[in-house]
Chain A
Amino acid sequence: MTTETMVRPAVADSGAKRSELLAQRVRAARWFLVPMLVALAIVAGWPLLRSIWFSFTDASLNDLYGAEFIGFDNYLRWQTLESGRTIYRGLLVDDAWWNAVWNTVRFAVISVSIEAVLGIIVALVLNAEFKGRGLVRAAILIPWAIPTIVSARMWGWMLNDQFGIINDIMLRLGLISQKIAWTASTDTAMTAVLIVDIWKTTPFMALLVLAGLQMIPKDIYEAADIDGVHPVKQFFRITLPLVRPALMVAIIFRVLDALRIFDLIYVLTPNSPATETMSVLARENLFDFDNFAYGSAQSTLLFFIIALFTIVYIWLGRVNFDGGDR
């Protein structure tokens, strides 16, 4: 008993001091977080909540504040006719919407896959030592540095069916027998958009992968040489696993971007059902067709689809944003 009473105050004392220090750290951390949380709440949280709210109303551009709550009607409503037939309406049964979802997902999967492969190849090249590497590294960034509107216009001209250089070159090489309306034809519009997006964002992918590559110590490749590991095996067994964390982060950045794609398609292939994505369609409804509530519902669904993608990706890929792998 005596020892207990002797010891206890000392322990309690040191415990109190430690928690005092901890509390101070937590307080400091909170203060540092406040500006960001406030900014996020204003520029992201509030608009998001407003959009979600509008999606449950009958809001129109003329009367945003007089909007009334109509429940899930924008998403799905049904009406049973006197004949006994039930008619479903709303976003969830809208073919145009599902076409846009399909376009977006297809675009995201194809463009990001190709960008990832090309990005790795470019990064491997840039990681090798050769004369003029600095210049090439800078030059490869140019597509990424050009504003999307500018590059979309530029490619629009190059892909032009009458005067475009791409048709001209392909004709001269004998690859095609007649000029193709790349951006206007529904068969080729998606290809055109993919080409431009891949051209534009491969450098971004390459740079993130390159950063990952440069983190890999050179000496383990020497160890692999001594182990007699073939260079191709070195890539798949050493380089790829070690660059994987960087690659996963690069891919998720690109997937999020690709699922939201708007500007490139809006400029390069306006009004083409073959390339109309969720963002393009939502904007159309919000502002062009005066279906503000319906557009809000689309925006809300777009948000949840992207969130779902991200969660599934992180879960499947076990992406560790704290850095490192396993």
Chain B
Amino acid sequence: MAKIELKDIRKSFGAVEVIKGVSLDIRSGEFMVFVGPSGCGKSTLLRLISGLEDITAGEMSFDGQVVNALTPSKRGIAMVFQSYALYPHMTVYENMAFGLTLEKGKPKEEIKKRVHRAAEMLQISDYLDRLPKQLSGGQRQRVAIGRAITRDPRVFLFDEPLSNLDAALRVATRIEIAKLHESMRDTTMVYVTHDQVEAMTLADRICVLRDGLVEQVGTPMELYEKPDSMFVAGFIGSPKMNFISGKLAEGFNAPTVGVRGEHLVIKPSDGVWSGEVIHSENLGSDSYIYVNVGSEEPVVVREDGATKHAVGEHVEIAPIDGRVHRFDKAGKPIR
């Protein structure tokens, strides 16, 4: 249970400033996701919260208590690493109990209870005697999560925990983490990812970072529906939002307009834009049709089911009413 406040946090490595003044409130019990392209500083920001890196300037507090100078263990955090970071020479049980056994005056029974409870939550009770190298990637990641749960932290930190898993396991573990958040409602969770799908599906709120600065903070739907910039609009949502500028956007009275593929329809006539189908991707449940309307990149239109439009066909497309995002020259929305 902790409310985390960041006030104008800065971090430099030598002459390079990586975090350039981030102010952010993370609510108690909230699942906050940091998302952004690689190099945006999201992992560094997480490491600043964890205490693994020193803060260069600014103030960070947990529940009003300034933690700038506190070591990681004194902050009451637990962290799950991308690489799992399990102790290779210890069994699963020892990995999970190690931190606790070193705390003075912790009764053995209590440690055992906590480890077993965490192991049951993650269904790894059968592997407690095994070494990490005898486990699969997914099992290792569960152990890493289990180790974090065992610490009973105020703040739970995840650093791209799913990146090393294969696609199917990634979805399964994502659901596990969502369930974990449900069952640990008091624990504040901060999660770093570059995958906007993970961000959308897990987050209570998302913080989009870009070049060491906060681009926008909001619930997944706020970011999806009301992006504060072209950057956020392009980053959130899959497939990426279509941006059309110049002459083609003149009808909307804006330098650039953005429309998501799912908000475009193909019409027999009277479309806003028209062009030739240059490629289509059929995913079974839906299909993406790439239309060359004369903009820089082809416009992607999402259709339900298999598409009937063949490559080379001339089509007219139009946005659904009210689903057009208008942006000014600086990339800010015109509302």
Contacts and interface: CB of A to CB of B under 8 A. Distances in A.
A125 interface: no
Contact of A242 (B88, B98, B103): B88
Given A227-B151, A228-B71, A228-B72, A222 B81 contact: yes
B115 to A, nearest CB: 13
Most B CB contacts (10 A, CB to CB) among A223, A237, A325 go to: A223
Given A225-B72, A225-B73, A230 B102 contact: yes
Give the contact-size bracket for chain B: 20 to 34
A217 B88 CA distance: 10
B86 A228 contact: no
Interface string B58-88: 0000000000000111100111010101111
Contacts of B151: 226-227
7 contacts: A220-B86, A222-B81, A223-B87, A225-B71, A226-B77, A226-B78, A230-B102
A222 B81 CA distance: 9
A242 to B, nearest CB: 6
A224 B78 CA distance: 11
A137 B183 CA distance: 51
Interface of B: 50-52, 71-74, 77-79, 81, 83, 85-89, 98-99, 102-103, 131, 147, 151
B50 A326 contact: no
B102 A223 contact: no
Contacts of A225: 51-52, 71-73
Majority-rule SS of A interface residues: helix
Contacts of B89: 238, 241-242, 325-326
B335 to A, nearest CB: 43
A217 to B, nearest CB: 7
A229 B81 contact: no
A219 interface: yes
A117 B50 CA distance: 34
Given A225-B52, A226-B52, A326-B131, A220 B99 contact: no
The 7 closest A-B pairs by CB, nearest first: A228-B73, A227-B99, A219-B85, A223-B85, A226-B72, A241-B89, A225-B72
A233 interface: yes
B114 to A, nearest CB: 13
A229 B102 contact: yes
